[in-house]
Amino acid sequence: MSKKLEGNGLWESSRIIIPEHKEAYLKLMQDRQRRGKPELDDQEVQLIEQALIDSYNSRTIVSITVFSPFDDEELTGVVTSINTARREVKLSRGQDDFSWIKLEDIVSTG
pLDDT digits (tens, 9 = 90+) for 17-71: 788 888 888 888 888 878 888 888 999 999 999 999 999 999 999 999 999 888 8
Amino acid (1-letter code) at residue 42: D
The answer to whether 63 and 76 are in contact (CB under 8 A) is yes
pLDDT band at 7 (very low <50, low <70, confident <90, very high): low
* pLDDT in the model for residue 4: 59
Contact 42, 52 (CB under 8 A): no
Let me know how many helices (H) and strands (E) the chain has, helices first.
3, 5
pTM value is 0.68
Give the closest residue to 87 by CA, choosing from 68, 69, 105, 60: 105
pLDDT tens string 71-91: 889 999 999 999 999 999 999
